Structure 1
Amino acid sequence: MEVGGLKLRPIRTRPPAASSEASVDAGELNGGLAQQPLNPNQRADADGSDACTIPEPVTPAGRAFLDPSFNAHILVILGSKVPINVDALKSGLRETIIKHKRFSSIIRKSDKGELIWVPTSVNLDEHIITAGGDTSSATFVEDYVAQLAQAPPLNASRPLFEFHVLRAKLGDAVENTVLRVHHALGDGTSLMSLLLSCTRKAADPNLLPTLPTQVYRSETKSSTWKAFGLLVWRFLLILWYTFLDVCSFIATSLWLEDSQTPLKGSLGVEKLPRRLAYWTVSMDDIRIVKRAIHGTVNDVVFGMVAAGLSRYLQQKYNENLGSGDVATKKLLGSKRMVKNQQKFKERLAHLRVRACILVNTRPSPGLQELEKMMKGGSQARWGNEMGYVILPVPLAAVENPLEYVFKSKSILDKKKQSLGAPLSYKGATMLMNIIGSEMPTRLTLNCGAHTTLAFSNVSGPLEEVEFFGHRITHIIPTVVGQPQALCVHVQSYMGKATIVVTSAKDVIPDPERLCEHIVCALHEMKESLPYEEKLEK
């Protein structure tokens, strides 16, 4: 693979060593899960003995992620201020993540044909891969991650995670670590929380990091009848918005597809090579806009994405319009071209472009609870319990960039009053338990393939943290294997927000341009505010 003059060596996935265990068969199940039926009342202990226990079944969403056509992996880049000490990394992992049941188990098929998690021994040497290369290349890490996105699935004969130590710079980081984990192990929120529970404050290594907390506004007191009327009205709104979301989810899963744009991928886009770009902005700028519109950080972030997508599509259209030969330009004339541009701006608002969001439907355990989980003293639930939320992206060609935020706020406020996400999870689980995983997995894939992009916004620590003695400069997450050509993640850390854009390079060859449009939109939103709003604390 040749990227910008840099020749990357193929990603090594470390083929499994020969083993005499009868539990691993040469056949394949679910695209690489090679297992032999296992008695559900037995487990393989690290010392090879069997103990009486009941193996935990793979969640319905986990079974869908294990399907060969939905081979989803989560990638997280952790930048380090100092060279990475592999021995310290191994020692830390042994005391934390390896003790977590998902990271010390493999997936097998029981004698009833069910996929279950079975504890196993973990050899960290098989899970930590050190990669060097042309460190003079400024894009080595991004290119490596893009190549990692196309690597073969993780080896199913051992726990489904890897740590890649990259001896190359990225931003302020001297070296970087890339965590590659199969989505079957858990949803993005749980996995990110688990990763953060392994970190400590850089200022005090004995304390867990501080995460942002949601501030809820207290409602003004009202008379009994007025309060009762508001309660009934809210109940009716919940019913209505839930009904709309369920109808939208069913229609999208079956036939309703987004408009064909330069952002939309086609069938098989999840198998195409990927590119990654990122940009960091100040959380203070986002909060200034948030206070001005009396909204939330999510409102501003989604408005930034909507503005960036709108401007990217306009720029693509203008490039295509101006790419004709001289004769064509003379034939159309400048007035005709201006008229066509105006028509496109009017049509932009009518394009169906939607974002697909996976929402955690159960309360996420806190960092302290996750720390206990790795020590074996927690009963917190774990796994993929996610519902789908389909967000229409408010595309438009407007003069005031704040219009994108106001429209995004209106859309998100309605979604907050809907039970569509938990119902989509419950419905898919029930369907999977009745008829098996094939059809629900296909419907889930359709839901992603019929939308334009995947989107998420995850909160990170407020202060600098260290990961097993390595001070972290940046946290850059993304997901690969989804049936969309575009994936946008926003990750906050240490007072900054990192916009991460991952795209199929045959569809969107310039994710850095899209990333720049999103960031520029935020700056223009801030500049459009009155001077007093900018100074308000």
Structure 2
Amino acid sequence: MGIHNDEPLSPAGRLFVQPATQQIINCVLGLEQPLGYDAVLTVISDSLLIMHPRFSSLLITDNQGREFWRKIEVDVRRHVILRPDPVGEGENDDDEAAVNAYIADLTVSSPLKTNKPLWEVHLLPAHKSVVMRVHHALGDGVSLMSLILTQFRKLGDPTQTPTIEPLTLKKGRELGKMEKIVKVLKMIWFTLIYVTEFLLRGLWVSDGKTVVRGGEGVEMWPRKLVTAKFSLQDMKTVKSAVNDATINDVLFGVISSGLSKYLDYRSPESLREGLQLTGVALVNLRPSPGLQDIKELMKKNAGVGWGNKIGVMLLPVYYHKRSQSDPLEYLKRAKTMIDRKKLSMEAFLSHQIGYFVMRYFGPKIASLLNYRVICNTSFTISNVVGPREEITIAGIPVTYMRTTSSSLSHAITMHMVSYAGKADLQILVAKDLIPDPEMLAKCFEDALIEMKECAVHISNMRKIDSNFI
């Protein structure tokens, strides 16, 4: 360290730079018109992004294998990459398909160079798109989203930065003494079950073999990327049909129903009712900074409190045949399971276990534990809340905002981002295992439509009943 005043990586940051668990976030913006190279340089140079220590530091590894951040002067031109020609797999690709193909290639074979800070901006003017690549070691998805959005402005008010809808917890009624005791006992019980399962997943327990199951080495297989498109209003309509449900509950109900539909399509003969497929979800364990919080943080010391404080939840879904009559059953089951997960300390203790292994056994063993958990499960899922209103960058309106990450040993990796009333789910697949991801995306979209129709029917029946009363 010495005269450089280097700063060590956080435990999660060290995990994300290990070869087996290396993660880069790829965020893509669709635009109404191409964004110019000089305009991008100006936006980045004038933003909080370039001032942040993580975005202006090199990743340094010392002789003992310890990783540090070392502050340097940033040359923005080294980070902005212009791809003037069309990209994609074929001449007939539309813009979205071409950009998805471009990102799919990046997720497997394009690490970020360590001779500059670990971020890049790729300009794709032929497709009116921008791809921003940020190493996960720089921060968690929620914080990075908040920081990146400081470069944008509201479409209706160019003087204002975007707003992100805060995650608010509903206040329930005051519990009685006995109810509090029962709640604590449930928390202990669920924690014991889920933490034990997490540890076993890191050792030998795995999902059964299915057509959507990956495994060791699959992270290096060629990828394909498609988008499932949802209306946020449709998700809210479905949410209202089940008491105290959340958008995350709806998303997981859609995933559960959609996977059952897809498995029915691909291999109905070989599946048993109730077959478990386990998802891995990363959980942010600290308060999410808003845009104003980040500005204040930059004025003081942006390195304080930054980084990754992330836990893991294992989220099981179960295969059910399409003959099931009530689509909302998938949501009800998802809500019950997620409520139990929230009540437990699984996410917190998974973080503590990782920290303990990192500290006493080193990053290689910690990385191996996480890698085994991924190899023994079936898919990754995340949901990041984006801007509520339409936004612009350099005066150009943004038409969509999506994200995905580096390929994992899962055959399916899913990331949803909401933006201006829309919710886009990026589905990254190992195309040798899932050759038709467009069908998988349609299964998810159809699942939400079925749930919405059921929710609307229930709402109409309630109105009829109230009129009779």
- Give yes or no for contact 2:278–2:316 (8 Å, CA) kept in 1: yes
Aligned with 1:137 (options 93, 103, 109): 93
Instruction: Identify if the C-alpha distance between structure 1 residues 454 and 469 changes in structure 2 by more than 3 Å, giving closer, same or farther.
Output: same
CA distance in structure 2 between the partners assigned to 1:532 and 1:390 by the alignment: 31
Give the C-alpha shift of residue 431 in structure 1: 1.9
CA distance in structure 1 between the partners assigned to 2:123 and 2:461 by the alignment: 43
SS at match of 1:279: strand
Give the C-alpha shift of residue 466 in structure 1: 1.5
Give the C-alpha shift of residue 412 in structure 1: 0.5
| Letter matched to residue 150 of structure 1 | V
Q: Find the structure with the greater CA-based Rg.
A: 1
Q: Does 1:71 find its partner at 2:22?
A: yes
Q: How does 1:100-179 map to 2 (within 5 A)?
A: 100-110=52-62, 113-134=65-86, 137-138=93-94, 139-169=97-127, 175-179=128-132
2:183 alignment counterpart:
234
Q: Does 1:316 find its partner at 2:263?
A: no
CA distance in structure 2 between the partners assigned to 1:428 and 1:149 by the alignment: 25
Give the C-alpha shift of residue 289 in structure 1: 0.9
CA distance in structure 2 between the partners assigned to 1:229 and 1:197 by the alignment: 47
Instruction: Identify if the C-alpha distance between structure 1 residues 81 and 372 changes in structure 2 by more than 3 Å, giving closer, same or farther.
Output: farther
For structure 1, which segment, 109-118 or 359-368, has the greater mean C-alpha deviation from structure 2 after superposition?
109-118
CA distance in structure 1 between the partners assigned to 2:320 and 2:308 by the alignment: 35
CA distance in structure 2 between the partners assigned to 1:99 and 1:534 by the alignment: 53
CA distance in structure 2 between the partners assigned to 1:217 and 1:437 by the alignment: 38
Give unmatched runs, 5+ long, in structure 1: 1-39, 44-52, 170-174, 319-340
Give the C-alpha shift of residue 293 in structure 1: 0.9
Q: Once the two structures are superposed, what CA deviation does each residue of 1:412-471 show, in whole Å capped at 9, x if it has no partner?
A: 110110111111111211221112111111001111111100001111111001224332
1:210 alignment counterpart:
163
| Letter matched to residue 23 of structure 2 | A
2:255 alignment counterpart:
305
Instruction: Identify if the C-alpha distance between structure 1 residues 437 and 243 changes in structure 2 by more than 3 Å, giving closer, same or farther.
Output: same
Give the C-alpha shift of residue 362 in structure 1: 1.5
- Give yes or no for contact 2:164–2:290 (8 Å, CA) kept in 1: no
- Give yes or no for contact 1:369–1:378 (8 Å, CA) kept in 2: no
Give the C-alpha shift of residue 198 in structure 1: 2.6
SS at match of 2:240: helix
Aligned with 1:348 (options 273, 284, 288): 273
1:327 alignment counterpart:
none
Instruction: Identify if the C-alpha distance between structure 1 residues 371 and 471 changes in structure 2 by more than 3 Å, giving closer, same or farther.
Output: farther
Give unmatched runs, 5+ long, in structure 2: 464-469
CA distance in structure 1 between the partners assigned to 2:236 and 2:106 by the alignment: 35
Instruction: Identify if the C-alpha distance between structure 1 residues 515 and 305 changes in structure 2 by more than 3 Å, giving closer, same or farther.
Output: same
2:426 alignment counterpart:
500
Q: Does 1:283 find its partner at 2:232?
A: yes
| Letter matched to residue 363 of structure 1 | P
Identity within the alignment, %: 36
- Give yes or no for contact 1:394–1:408 (8 Å, CA) kept in 2: no
Q: How does 1:28-427 map to 2 (within 5 A)?
A: 40-43=1-4, 53=5, 55-95=6-46, 96-110=48-62, 113-134=65-86, 137-138=93-94, 139-169=97-127, 175-221=128-174, 227-294=176-243, 295-318=245-268, 341=269, 347-349=272-274, 351-375=275-299, 378=302, 380-397=304-321, 398-427=324-353
2:467 alignment counterpart:
none
Q: Does 1:450 find its partner at 2:376?
A: yes
Give the C-alpha shift of residue 112 in structure 1: 5.7
Instruction: Identify if the C-alpha distance between structure 1 residues 375 and 202 changes in structure 2 by more than 3 Å, giving closer, same or farther.
Output: farther
| Letter matched to residue 263 of structure 2 | L
| Higher RCO structure (Cα 8 Å, ≥6 apart) | 2
CA distance in structure 2 between the partners assigned to 1:243 and 1:212 by the alignment: 34
1:330 alignment counterpart:
none
- Give yes or no for contact 1:355–1:392 (8 Å, CA) kept in 2: yes
Q: Once the two structures are superposed, what CA deviation does each residue of 1:142-199 show, in whole Å capped at 9, x if it has no partner?
A: 1111122233321111101111001233xxxxx0000112221122222222222332
Q: How does 1:478-493 map to 2 (within 5 A)?
A: 478-493=404-419
Give the C-alpha shift of residue 208 in structure 1: 2.3
Instruction: Identify if the C-alpha distance between structure 1 residues 435 and 134 changes in structure 2 by more than 3 Å, giving closer, same or farther.
Output: closer
1:28 alignment counterpart:
none
For structure 1, which segment, 182-191 or 247-256, has the greater mean C-alpha deviation from structure 2 after superposition?
182-191
CA distance in structure 1 between the partners assigned to 2:162 and 2:232 by the alignment: 18
